[in-house]
Structure 1
Amino acid sequence: MPTLTTATPWAVGIANRLQLRTFPLHASQILTTAGTYYGLYSIIAPAISRTLAPKIYNDLSKESRANWDARAVGFVQAAFISYQALSVILTDPSRPGATTAHQRLWDYSTRTGEVQAYAAGYFLWDLYVTTRYMSQTGPSAAAHAFCGLLITMLGFRPFANYYGVNFILYNLSTPFLNVHWLLDKLGKTGSNLQLVNGIALISTFFSARLVWGSYQTWLLSRDMYEAWQSGPVPQLLFATYLLSNTTLTCLNFYWFGKMLQALRRRFDPKDDTRG
């Protein structure tokens, strides 16, 4: 593990108070990531949108433009963080050696810490946006951002970095979700393009979030139970992490049902029966 001589000095005090031992090693990265996404959200996404779709974008309300820009950020984030997570899963030399529950729960590597920091920076920005525009995004989006930020920050204890990287693959479905929303705004509702994208969305959401995510949650719970049986564990940490992860899993099932309803409304034939 890198030493605190490479850490950000101002973050050491926070880490000591919150018992987040590896947080100082990644604090600057978290803030840089959040700042980058804020710049993309407030400057770059609006500029590109006004260039490529000036009439549609300028006719949107302030709140709808904010949602548009947030989805642009979400698209970039999902592609970037999914690549980073897959890179760690496939190439990090520490992964094959994590053969015990203790290693999967407590081991740390620089690469897993970096991926956790990228995710934490995004969730920090996302929490700001979803709370500011909660009337439009809804409380479930703010809950998702809060739980995501909480889980990634707890990872700097360090804790469950092995599983944290696995859970980041939830994001494989996000680009298709944002394209689906964008096609609605571009007047392509019910088009063949939206149908193909919808199939990709349902497939990736189901496989990445419901199947893969639920399986990883079960593996994590099994390792946590084994650690709890083996000796004293930080019970508040275990409970907080497990509760936050369970909340995210429940939200995934809730959103999957909502997506199926939305797709059915778009592509089912209209009932022309006259009463």
Structure 2
Amino acid sequence: MQDPFFLPISTLGETIKPFCDYLSLRSLPSHIHEILFAFGVYHLIFEYIAPPLSNFFLPHRYAKLTYESKLRWNMHCASMVQSCTICVMALWTIAMDDERRNMNLNERLWGYTGAAGLVQALATGYFLFDLVVMVRYLDVFGLGMLAHASSCLITYTLGFRPIFNYYGCVFMLYELSTPFLNIHWFFDKLSMTGTKAQLYNGIALLVVFFCCRLVWGAYSSFNIYKDVWDALHLTAADKVGGNDEMMRFAGDRSLPMWLVVLYMSGHVILQALNVFWFGKMIAAVKKRFTKTEKKKFSDSDIDYFGNGVLPLSVPVL
């Protein structure tokens, strides 16, 4: 399926092509404009849209937030837009991209479609924005979030080899739980801790997290493990063929061991962390509905963090 976004800017793609060729990021020149577009949109939300709108609609709440809480609030606003947008785009691509859906083993590993590349580019643009914010406000967000942003950006960028383009949309569905997490955080800041609205949202958060990260995540991880295992046993003759259009960036169809180790170990770690975080989320939600004396919650009591292969925002509560 062709990239539904506006056509790439030829001069921009040609400018970065030597750099991309050197790093074997063959499909990146076709999507650099989308990365920069996404970066610009999230920067505008964080810097120029979320603060005045929040102050206009919630003047008594937003104005009373601390400097650190305002930064986190603005970041959650950008995260909300990103998670909703990227999930819609991923679901749309999975449903509408017939070429992607019918990919064989070679095409799932080294193939490429414009629509899947767009989803990857929008995610890369967000994590580029995320990295810039983490560097600017390192004193607020800390080294952990800086490491998260860096690892996400590096891993998404490596996908432009292209590698695992098919799976970009698959694992992007992890983000389905992120809007509920952001809403949960906003409830705390709006003095709605322990309300029925937060309870219903908390239940939805746990259910969606369990379904999209633990169930769907385990199933999808098994599929990519199997594809990598099968690819490592392909002969040179087996690697020949495939749809010419989808394989136009495939190059020599190599699968370097460092890349295998990076992606596969990341999946194992991510799945283990998902189980750990799910337990922490249950405890955090229950904490807000105990009958004991009302507690105060810090900004970091419930927040988002990410990790993993094709890393996605993963909550730590």
TM over 0.5: yes
Q: Deviations over 1:108-134 (max 9, x none)?
A: 001010110000001111122234445
Looking at structure 2, the residues matched to 188 and 95 of structure 1 have their Cα atoms a distance apart, in angstroms, of 43
1:46 to 1:205, Cα distance in 2 relative to 1, 3 A: same
> 2:77 pairs with 72, 80, 87, which one?
72
Q: 1:24 aligns with which of 23, 29, 32?
A: 29
For residue 257 of structure 2, what is the aligned residue in structure 1? 235
**Whole-Å separation in 2 of the counterparts to 1:82 and 1:115:** 9
Q: In the alignment, which residue of structure 2 is the partner of 1:59?
A: 64
Mapped contact 2:94–2:101 kept (Cα < 8 A): no
Q: CA deviation at 1:138?
A: 4.9
User: Are residue 269 (structure 1) and residue 291 (structure 2) matched?
Assistant: yes
Quickly say closer, same or farther: Cα 1:142–1:216, change in 2 above 3 A: farther
1:24-65, Cα deviation, whole Å (9 max, x unpaired): 111121012111101110000001111011122112121110
In the aligned structure 2, how far is the partner of 1:185 from the partner of 1:29? 33
- Aligned counterpart, 1:114: 118
Deviates more, 1:144-153 or 1:169-178: 144-153
Q: How does 1:131-170 map to 2 (within 5 A)?
A: 131-134=135-138, 136-170=140-174
1:256 aligns with 2:274: no
Question: What 5-or-longer segments of structure 1 have no aligned partner?
Answer: none
Partner residue of 1:207? 211
Separation in structure 2 between the aligned mates of residue 55 and residue 174 of structure 1, nearest angstrom: 26
Counterpart position of 1:103: 107
Using the alignment, how far apart are the partners of 1:5 and 1:198 within structure 2?
44
For 1:245 and 1:142, locate their aligned partners in 2 and report how far apart those are by CA, in whole Å. Answer: 20
CA displacement 1:124-172 (0-9 Å, x = unmatched): 1112223444554455444433332222212111110111110000111
1:173 alignment partner in structure 2: 177
In structure 2, the CA distance between the partners of 1:218 and 1:238, relative to structure 1 (3 Å rule), is same
Correspondence for 1:8 = 13
**Structure 1 residues 261, 130: CA separation in 2 closer, same or farther (over 3 Å shift)?**
farther
1:11 deviation in Å? 1.6
Matched residues in 2 for 1:117 and 1:168: separation? 12
Structure 1 35/157 Cα, relative in aligned 2: closer, same or farther at 3 Å?
same
CA contact (8 A) 1:176 1:197 kept: yes
- Residue 130 of structure 2 corresponds to 126
Distance 1:173 1:5, change over 3 A: closer
Q: Does structure 2 conserve the Cα–Cα contact (< 8 Å) formed by 1:173 and 1:208? A: yes
CA distance in 1, matches of 2:94, 2:112: 14
Pairing 1:40–2:45 present: yes
Task: Name which of structure 1's ranges 7-16 and 79-88 shifts more when overlaid on structure 2.
Answer: 7-16
- Structure 1 window deviating more from structure 2 (177-186 vs 241-250): it is 241-250
Aligned partner of 2:199 in structure 1 is 195
Matching residue of 1:184:
188
> Secondary structure, in 3 states, of the residue corresponding to 2:18?
helix
> For residue 263 of structure 1, what is the amino acid of its counterpart?
V
Amino acid paired to 1:60: L
- Aligned-pair identity in percent equals 40
> Which whole-Å CA distance do the structure 1 matches of 2:49 and 2:216 have between them?
33
After superposition, the CA RMSD in angstroms is: 2.3
Secondary structure at the aligned position of 2:101 is classed as coil
TM-score (norm. length: structure 1)? 0.90
| Larger helix proportion of the pair | 1
Letter in 2 for 1:220: I
Letter of the 1:238 counterpart? V
TM-score by length of structure 2 reads 0.79
